[in-house]
Amino acid sequence: MEERKRIYLCLAHMSEAGLEQKYIQEAFDTNWVVPLGPNVSGFEADLESFVGQGKHVVALSSGTAALHLALLLCGVEKGDEVIVQSFTFCASSNPVAYLGANPVFVDSEAKSWNLSPDMLECAIKSRISETGKCPKAIIPVALYGMPYDVDAILKIAAKYNIPVVEDAAEGFGSRWNGRVLGTFGDYGVLSFNGNKMITTSGGGALICPSEEAKRKAMWLATQAREAYPYYHHLAIGYNYRMSNICAGIGRGQMHIVNEHIMHHKHVHELYENGMKNVKGVEIHSNPTALSDSNYWLCTLLLDENVEVKGQGGMYRDAASESIGGIISEVHKSKNPHTDCEPNPNVEALRVWLDKKGIESRPLWKPMHKQPVYESSVAYCNGVSEALFKKGLCLPSGPMVSDRDVEYIIQCICEAIV
């Protein structure tokens, strides 16, 4: 087989490099190489126009920073409880721990893979019964871009008067009933990490309900400074604002965001059509007419009874490196197994694709199965654990071509015995 380029999972493609370079050069020419400036304001205006609904947006250093600020603005304090979707990346729950609060993990429903409304209400009732008070916030997550059941979650949140912080980091441009995710709850969180739908190399944004909330978020994000001719602080602040350089990249990316979303949807359609007759393989798709995923990552489920070449040799040796991007330092694993891991055929398929020059990854390991959160309260129905064992993420970025998808499907079919 001829040597091919490596096909990466998801890479934000800078097809408007000329515009990006223009904004960046302006920042250097005007000496605005700092965490503020015209590009930051311009990027925020572009985002406000994109999300609509009269929302206000603050550009920040990361989506995690946005989530941290949102929880602060919701009044979350040490000892409080926050309900977090368990089936997600750790950035959804870690900010809860930053505040000394306690995450309460809630499992998913099988159709969208996101926060189960039934389990959510069960958890709220249980926490009220056990602690005498409601959780301080609810964090639903748009897993791989798929919308959560907005209507059901907001109805439950309103019933118990609990703020909702939408983690739409993976769902930039995804919609529920035609409306952009991140605009339904009290606050919304976006991410512009290097692998997201658009990128600022790193960065994120907080969607706020009002100009007043935006100003408070900006104040907290710039070290909570007071109006004195010297540095005088009445509150703890954070260094969370986006740089003018990064915002310039974002302004350029906003010119092609709709093209990116359309391409991701096109890639998903190619996977769905190309593997609809492959026995034991299921591509995850919009479960309802109200759901409109950006398909940030295309995902598949592999039936546990499907045999894949090499699966008998999986998990024999401990891993020496981490999956999921460039990591500066990781701890080597001491044991090849954990108590919750992908099925051997899924790991075998990942290894097979890697040898073919195709990057793929397991689904997110549920937070309630993470050792760092072993003492946290969790309300589980088994859905996220079952999905984690059977699921795999496929290359989905703007650089993935039709020929790439054809090759990936071919390699998957070759791997199945």
Alpha-carbon gap, residue 20 to 181, rounded angstroms: 26
Same domain, 248 and 269: no
Q: Which domain holds residue 154?
A: 17-256
Among 256, 290, 323, identify where a domain stops.
256
- Host H or E run for residue 203: none
> In the Cβ-directed half-sphere of 410, how many Cα atoms lie within 13 Å?
9
Q: Is residue 53 part of a domain?
A: yes
Q: Are 173 and 261 within 8 A, CB to CB?
A: yes
**252 plus 311 within the same structural domain:** no
Q: If pLDDT is split at 50, 70 and 90, which confidence band does 1 have?
A: very low
Does one domain contain both 286 and 186? no
Residues 213 and 289 in one domain: no
Q: Judge whether 276 lies within some domain.
A: yes
Same domain, 320 and 265: yes
- Residue at 43 is within a domain: yes
Write down which residue in 200, 229, 256 finishes a domain. Answer: 256
Task: Of 14-23, 195-204, 245-254, give the lowest mean pLDDT range.
Answer: 14-23
Based on the fold, state whether residues 60 and 174 are members of the same structural domain. Answer: yes
Are residue 250 and residue 271 in the same domain, yes or no? no
What is the domain-level CATH number for residue 60? 3.40.640.10
Asked whether residue 173 falls in the same domain as residue 147, the answer is yes
Q: Do 64 and 51 belong to one domain? A: yes
pLDDT for res 360: 97
Structure tokens at 117: 């409304």
Q: Tell which of 224, 256, 288 closes a domain.
A: 256
Q: What's the pLDDT band for 32 if we cut at 50, 70, 90?
A: low
Residue 113 identity: W
Is residue 5 one of the residues assigned to a domain?
Answer: no
Q: Are residues 232 and 298 both part of a single domain? A: no
Q: How many domains does the chain have?
A: 2
Report yes or no on 213 lying in a domain: yes
Taking residues 323-341, what's their average pLDDT? Answer: 73
Based on the domain organization, do 264 and 248 belong to the same domain? no
Residue 322 pLDDT grade (very low, low, confident, very high; cuts 50, 70, 90): low
Mean of pLDDT values over 85-93: 97
Q: For position 285, which CATH number holds?
A: 3.90.1150.10
d(CA 181, CA 307) in angstroms, rounded, equals 38
% of the chain with per-residue pLDDT over 90: 82
The mean-pLDDT minimum among 138-147, 154-163, 245-254 falls in: 245-254
Cβ atoms 109, 165 nearer than 8 A: no
0.75 cut: is pTM over it?
Answer: yes
In a domain, 272, yes or no: yes
- Same domain for 112 and 132? yes
Which residues fall within 8 angstroms of residue 88, CB to CB, at 6 or more apart?
141, 143, 167, 364, 367
pLDDT of residue 386: 98
Q: How confident is the model at residue 400 (pLDDT cuts 50, 70, 90)?
A: very high
What strands, in cross-sheet order, belong to the sheet with 175-176? 179-180, 175-176, 291-292
Residue 229: inside a domain, yes or no? yes
Q: 207 near 232, Cβ under 8 Å?
A: no
| Structural domain includes residue 11 | no
Mean residue pLDDT of the chain comes to: 92
Q: Span 287-296, mean pLDDT?
A: 98
